[in-house]
Amino acid sequence: MSVTTLSEVEERHSREAIEREIVRFEERIRELQSGTITPEQFRPFRLKHGTYGQRQPGFQMLRVKIAAGVLRPAQLRVLADIADEYSTGRGHLTTRENVQFHFVKLENVGAAMRLLADAGLTTREACGNTVRNVTACPVAGICPGEAFDVTPYALGVSRYLLRHPDFHDLPRKFKIAFSGCENDGDCAVAGIHDVGLIAQVRGSNGTPHRGFKVLVGGGLGSLPTTAAVLSDFLPEEELLPTIEAILRVFTETGNRKNKLLARLKFVLRAKGIEEFRRLVTEKRKVSEAPAETLAVPSPIKPSLVTIAPTPRSFSAAEPQSDPEYDRWAGHNLMFQRQAGYGAVWVKLPAGTFYSNQMRGLANVLEKNELTGVRIAVNQDLVIPWVPFDRVRAIYNGLRTLDLATAGARTISDVTGCPGATTCNLGITRPLTLADVLSRELNGYTDPEIQKLRIKISGCPNSCGHHHIADIGFYGNVRKVGEQQAPYYQLLLGGKVNADGVRFARQIMAVPARPIPAIIRELLAFYQQDRQAAAETFSAGVARTQDKTIKDWLLPLAEVT
């Protein structure tokens, strides 16, 4: 089936169509409960609707797609209601800019879906072999280094592909990310996606033309792969047709027999970038996707595509002496490219976000005439468009919600997935470790140490992005005596920047308990061994042999 008109796109997202979708989900639940269908028959349908079985029998994880990470106050309140009514009073922000709710009973999923639909949110295609949430740089539209705001493009692509009849049963999951610049290690990390899009502006005779550098076939997991360049410059109006063409090539050539070899990166490995480019070109010739610039109001996306307020004038606030506030502002406040405005980073402990904080943040935004917040891939929140004369008021409001923790985007801002706490695949519990590390690493003042990133996954699948961390961990287990003990594989030196992606290298397996001490010892080794004050941790790791690092850390890693 082909989507030939924009009216068909809108019909897919009508409230009536969504209600039919929810009713059908509830019917399938009843069929499961009556024994008409088996759990295995229900599983792909459940996943396609963003409902993932937990390791605890009888409970589900409900994953809510937040397109481009953009949330408005009313949506925050709906998420809070779902957290209280159907979950545990909290949600979890993910590295895919989703919000997850755990311990949801299957019979309550339909009711939660209706609340989400009323707020313009959905769980549809948040799991399974589908196009997952389309992510974007959390500072898009305000970043001093961006080519242009990619938010409208991310929202437009998300809306076009959501519920697309041809793309909800792919060979494997498919991830798309938009970045406003090449140096996107803390933003969108385009180079690790099935399709990564980096904003570019080119032109001649004084006429600039927007477009994208297109990367394809990236991914993490057990075989981390850097994306290849499909196009150095794709004109913006070619965005939808080209993404559709890539998806059609993937649909026809992806491995449907072995899910371990089913991601797009394996198609690239088998065919090479030149043949893949040829196949995409052929599919583009017959694509019926509309050629859209997406920079202006369009039927395939909401007309309001930014969260910028109406321009206003203001005066700077009187300075106040407050060391705690100054420390917070030093890392949690960034300048926008628009004069007089800043963006506030809200540091969350590995993405844990409580319902009272959701409601309270909605109130803070509205009280200060701010229209939205964004989820970042490092599991923090970003409040853009804060006039400098309101920063102190925002800080005070966040502090009452326990959301004014200093140290955003520093070594103490640790990324982690839920792991074995709820996930069937999880081996260890990254959230527990991330919480400990966040507190214990908060006192470092060395600028080179402060800028480091720690990322933790509960298994090799890299939901916590451990492959691209300065210091990464993924969970495994070892037998110690007669007991199974939680261990982590230590990885060092991962990075994403304007030069591309460099995956961290595996160093050694370490027991979970002494990891805080192991990190402190690792940092002490770096400070003692660095060849100059300006030598980065990454450079130090790159020139140091694995054996040297192992020998230094081994006394702490031995289990007695």
Quick one: pLDDT at residue 313? 46
Quick one: pLDDT at residue 204? 72
Tokens describing residue 559: 């289990």
From 111, 131, 19, 13, select the one nearest 65 (Cα to Cα).
Answer: 131
141 three-class SS: coil
For the chain, give percent helix, strand, coil, nearest 5.
40, 20, 40
- Cα 168 off chain centre by: 20
Going by their DSSP bridges, the two strands 454-457 and 471-480 should be labelled as parallel
Q: Which residue has the tokens 């590995």?
A: 350
Residue 390, classified by CB atoms within 10 Å of its CB into exposed (0-12), middle (13-18) or buried (19+), is: buried
The 8-class DSSP code of residue 131 comes to: B
Q: Which residue has the tokens 């406040």?
A: 333
Is the full-model pTM beyond 0.85? Answer: yes
From 58, 57, 138, select the one nearest 96 (Cα to Cα).
Answer: 138
Quick one: pLDDT at residue 308? 59
Q: What topology does CATH give the domain 328-400? A: Sulfite Reductase Hemoprotein; domain 2 (3.90.480)
Compute the distance between CA of residue 244 and CA of residue 267 in angstroms, rounded to an integer.
16
Which residue spans of the chain are classified as CATH 3.30.413.10?
135-285, 425-557
319 three-class SS: coil
Which residue spans of the chain are classified as CATH 3.90.480.10?
328-400
From 118, 129, 77, 131, select the one nearest 99 (Cα to Cα).
Answer: 77
Quick one: pLDDT at residue 310? 53
Name residues of the chain where pLDDT drops below 70: 1-6, 296-320, 559-560
Q: What is the CATH number of domain 135-285?
A: 3.30.413.10
Q: What is the CATH number of domain 425-557?
A: 3.30.413.10
Cβ neighbours for 326, distance < 8 A, ≥ 6 positions apart = none
From 180, 243, 244, select the one nearest 210 (Cα to Cα).
Answer: 180
Quick one: pLDDT at residue 296? 55
- Would you tell me how many other CB atoms lie within 10 Å of the CB of residue 331? 18
Quick one: pLDDT at residue 299? 42
Compute the distance between CA of residue 159 and CA of residue 155 in angstroms, rounded to an integer.
6
Instruction: Determine the Cα angle at 469 with ends 212 and 385, to 5°.
Output: 55
Instruction: Determine the Cα angle at 428 with ends 423 and 430, to 5°.
Output: 85
Quick one: pLDDT at residue 3? 46
